[in-house]
Amino acid sequence: MGLIEIQSKEKFSDLTSVKDKLIALYFHTPWASPCIQMNKVISTLADSPQNKHIDFLSINADNFPEISDLFDISAVPYFVLVKNGTILKELSGADPKEFASALEQLGGNEQEIETNQADSSVSKEKSSSVFDYVSSATNNQDAAPAAVALEEESPEQLKARLRKLTTAAPIMLFMKGTPSAPQCGFSRQLVAILREHQVRFGFFDILKDDTVRQGLKKFSDWPTYPQLYVGGNFQGGLDIIKESLSENEHFFETALVEANNTN
Amino acid sequence: MSSVLNSDQLVKTIKTRLQANEVEVQDMSGGCGQAFAVIIVSDIFKGKNKLTRHRMVNNALSEEISQIHAFTQKVFTTDEWEEQKRLYGSS
């Protein structure tokens, strides 16, 4: 059926009062980078013949604050699956697989998941260079795994989001820019070190989300970027990593093992 | 209200706040006071791991760090510093 972009509240009321149909509501904003990726994913899912029994509505949260409030949307991208006026499921964040499987579960139909790169990359073992876990999940170098918050995000919500981010991959690098386009010398150096040691890592570009940029400084109790997390535990910045490596060339492996043992 | 740090000020600040015996501060930004590399030798670091030590420095210099663009630190106890000098020769 295709993704329908909501242009008016009346249209929204009309479309959501349809009976006995699974309706997928997709809340987005033009400025949140995970949404840009998700837009493509949602369109693809909406156009897929497998999903023709599902209505896909796209709502720009900035333009329709009342609709967003109705569903208590606190971060984008956000999905609400409704049927007959009842909310069946809500999903926060940019995880195409999670969304697709929720559609499958609730839509009651078999379907292919279009996000091939996400599937194959997540399970494949790559022995050579870096596997940018986070970027592959949304098919783009600049993506982040979790949602970008709208306006009020309570400290608890932010903390929960940071916990999710810092454990998005066994090794998570919070940097300025992306591994392919670092925006700061120290971030560039740390990426180089990770690649040199053939370490698989996920990354988050803190220049893209100021809430995370400031929040993570408090969360980690660390004032600068880049920041490296292993197994959800903060390891330090470039200096510490370099020093740790000079004392123990297997620093990354040791840190991973330690994290697995304590988690 | 200048937010430009200079090396001498920084040395004094570090010596006071971290009870450092030796401090080396290098302005890597060519005199702009925007990027500093520091070496701090102090026994307040004894028995503390890297992360804790760096955090002590970060906390002691939090205002200064927030004003500059780049900050890199090496921290040693007096014994460790002697060891460094022995291994690598004095500067």
pLDDT in tens, A86-99: 888 888 877 788 88
Q: How far is B51 from chain A (nearest CA, A)?
A: 6
Question: Could you say which of A234, A235, A239 has the minimum Cβ distance to residue B72?
Answer: A239
| Contact predicate B5/B68, CB 8 Å | yes
Q: What own/partner pairs with CB < 8 Å and gap ≥ 24 does B83-89 have?
A: none
| Stronger pLDDT, A113 or B44, i.e. the higher one | B44
Q: Does the beta carbon of B48 lie under 8 angstroms from any beta carbon of chain A?
A: no
Q: Which residues of A touch B70 (CB under 8 A)?
A: 185-186
**Helix or strand (DSSP H, E) at B74:** strand B70-76
Q: How far is B74 from chain A (nearest CA, A)?
A: 7
Say whether pLDDT at A125 is over 50: no
**Residue whose pair of structure tokens reads 């073992």 in the numeric block:** A125
Say whether pLDDT at B1 is over 70: no
Tokens of A219: 């969360």
CATH number attached to the domain at A3-138: 3.40.30.10
Say whether pLDDT at A234 is over 90: yes
Say whether pLDDT at A15 is over 70: yes
Closest residue on chain A to B64 (Cα): A223
Say whether pLDDT at A126 is over 70: no
The Cβ of residue A46 has, within 10 Å, a number of other Cβ atoms equal to 20
Per-residue confidence (pLDDT) for residue B43, from 0 to 100:
95
| Contact predicate B72/A238, CB 8 Å | yes
Q: Does the beta carbon of B36 lie under 8 angstroms from any beta carbon of chain A?
A: no
Which of A103-107, A151-155, B19-23, B68-72 reaches the highest mean pLDDT? B19-23
Say whether pLDDT at B29 is over 60: yes
* Contact at CB, A239 and B73, closer than 8 angstroms: yes
CATH topology of domain A155-262: Glutaredoxin (3.40.30)
The Cβ of residue A225 has, within 10 Å, a number of other Cβ atoms equal to 25
CATH 3.40.30.10 in chain A: give the residue spans: 3-138, 155-262
Say whether pLDDT at A158 is over 60: yes
Per-residue confidence (pLDDT) for residue A148, from 0 to 100:
63
Per-residue confidence (pLDDT) for residue A112, from 0 to 100:
35
Q: Of A139-153, A167-181, A239-253, B67-81, where does mean pLDDT reach its minimum? A: A139-153
Q: In angstroms, rounded to a whole number, what is the distance separating the alpha carbons of residues A218 and A54?
A: 42
| Structural domains of chain B sorted by starting position, each given as residue range(s) with its CATH number in brackets | 7-88 (3.30.300.90)
